[in-house]
């Protein structure tokens, strides 16, 4: 059993870490923090966990955390884990951080996209980008994982085989992605722009040209293809609670059929238990929500020689807590799928 701590357990991602982690066969959750709910029962914060756990939230304390658990998930806003994780790592603990603190390898690039200085560049240099589907070898000696963002997860999985095999024309990728509202976190609920009338019966873009997830997408595509990989990314807010559908358009360097590309994707993901490459069906949120699966389909527009790569994930599972557990499984030498082979909840 691995003793697990969740730092920032009261947020949306923390709640999913609890929901999935409490039934994980090799995890025992021993330490959960919330500053605002310290002392309260977890099941009071998450009534959906009534009858499942009698854990209580506590305020974060480095010494208590160290004594209570062997491995930690950080589910705090950007800028927090880079200040708190160092002491735990120095004590030999394993850390998976769900924020953006350990995803962008270059501290200057981090400052450019996140608008703050990275205070632990030494830790950043040790961090592993947590997408085993792209490169499992990165996990061999890892102790600190920067868990990917939700949009980058949907996007990178949708286009990685094209970039790894250099089938895509560099600089032509356009990503049109739509997310459910939980992607903005629980705190966003206080903002009138996220009130029911502003979300329901509405559909809007945001972050046009400037979303910080662009940094890690370009970084990982450049690493895969060995060449600079600028992209255009526009996120949209769907009037649903959860799920991301990404539609990615990229010009192919040469003509390929959809059947050929689908076969290549299946080969590329042959050891990826959470990627399902569809053939005739197209991805839908209802068939991934609640699960750690990413559904992908590839089509080719022959007239323009563009591939259209579609993917669907649950932003809170494969886009956050599920992939974090997948990464922690690898850090702890457990089967990658442990605690994660749930089907989706959709009808």
Ligand X SMILES: NC(=O)c1ccc[n+]([C@@H]2O[C@H](COP(=O)([O-])OP(=O)(O)OC[C@H]3O[C@@H](n4cnc5c(N)ncnc54)[C@H](OP(=O)(O)O)[C@@H]3O)[C@@H](O)[C@H]2O)c1
Contacts with ligand X by CB under 6 A lie at 8, 10-14, 34-37, 75-78, 80, 98-99, 149-150, 182-183, 185-187, 315-316, 319-320
Which residue out of 150, 248, 294, 309 is catalytically annotated? Answer: 150
Q: Which is nearer to ligand X, 239 or 263 (CB)?
A: 239
Least distance (Å) between residue 78 CB and ligand X: 5
Task: Return the structure tokens found at 281.
Answer: 């069906």
Residue 297 near residue 282, CB atoms below 8 Å = yes
332 in catalytic set: no
CB of 345 to ligand X, least distance (A): 16
User: How does 196-234 read in b/e, with b if 16+ C-beta sit within 10 Å?
Assistant: eeebeeeeeeeeeeebbbbbbbbbbbeebbeeebebebe
Q: Judged by CB, which is closer to ligand X: 182, or 292?
A: 182
Quote the least distance from Cβ 324 to ligand X, whole Å. 8
The distance of closest approach from Cβ of residue 8 to ligand X in the complex, given in angstroms and rounded to an integer, is 4
Pair type for strands 294-301 and 244-251: unpaired
**Nearer Cβ to ligand X, position 48 or 77?**
77
Torsion of CA 29, 34, 40, 46, to 10 degrees: -70
Shorter beta-carbon distance to ligand X: residue 319 or 339: 319
Q: Is 47 exposed, middle or buried (0-12, 13-18, 19+ CB in 10 A)?
A: exposed
Containing 6, the helix (H) or strand (E) segment is strand 2-7
Residue number with the smallest Cβ distance to ligand X:
11
Could you tell me if 216 and 104 are in contact, meaning their C-beta atoms sit under 8 angstroms apart?
A: yes
Q: Which region holds residue 259: left if phi is over 0, alpha if psi is between -120 and 50, else beta?
A: alpha
Q: Which residues are catalytic?
A: 150
């Amino acid at each position: 059993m691995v003793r697990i701590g969740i730092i920032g357990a009261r947020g949306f991602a923390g709640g999913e870490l609890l929901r999935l982690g409490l039934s994980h066969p090799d995890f025992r959750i021993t330490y959960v923090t919330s500053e605002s709910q310290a002392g309260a029962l977890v099941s009071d914060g998450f009534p959906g966990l009534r009858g499942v756990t009698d854990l209580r939230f506590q305020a974060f304390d480095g010494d208590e955390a160290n004594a209570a658990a062997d491995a930690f998930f950080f589910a705090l806003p950007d800028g927090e884990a880079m200040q708190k994780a160092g002491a735990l790592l120095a004590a030999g603990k394993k850390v998976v951080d769900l924020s953006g603190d350990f995803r962008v390898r270059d501290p200057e690039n981090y400052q450019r996209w996140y608008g703050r200085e990275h205070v632990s560049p030494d830790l950043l240099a040790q961090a592993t980008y947590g997408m085993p589907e792209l490169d499992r070898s990165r996990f061999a000696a890892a102790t600190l994982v920067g868990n990917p963002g939700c949009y980058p997860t949907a996007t990178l999985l949708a286009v990685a085989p094209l970039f790894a095999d250099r089938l895509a024309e560099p600089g032509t990728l356009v990503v049109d992605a739509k997310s459910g509202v939980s992607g903005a976190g629980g705190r966003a609920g206080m903002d009138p722009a996220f009130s029911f009338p502003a979300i329901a019966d509405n559909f809007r873009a945001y972050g046009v040209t400037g979303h910080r997830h662009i940094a890690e997408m370009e970084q990982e595509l450049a690493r895969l293809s060995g060449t600079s990989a600028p992209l255009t990314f526009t996120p949209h807010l769907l009037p649903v609670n959860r799920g991301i559908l990404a539609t990615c358009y990229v010009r192919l360097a040469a003509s390929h059929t959809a059947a050929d590309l689908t076969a290549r994707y299946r080969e590329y993901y042959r050891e990826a238990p959470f990627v399902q490459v569809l053939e005739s069906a197209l991805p839908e949120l209802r068939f991934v929500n609640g699960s750690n699966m990413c559904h992908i389909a590839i089509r080719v527009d022959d007239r323009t020689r563009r591939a259209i790569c579609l993917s669907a994930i649950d932003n809170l599972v494969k886009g956050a807590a599920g992939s974090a557990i997948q990464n922690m499984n690898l850090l702890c030498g457990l089967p990658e799928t442990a605690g994660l082979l749930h089907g989706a909840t959709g009808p």
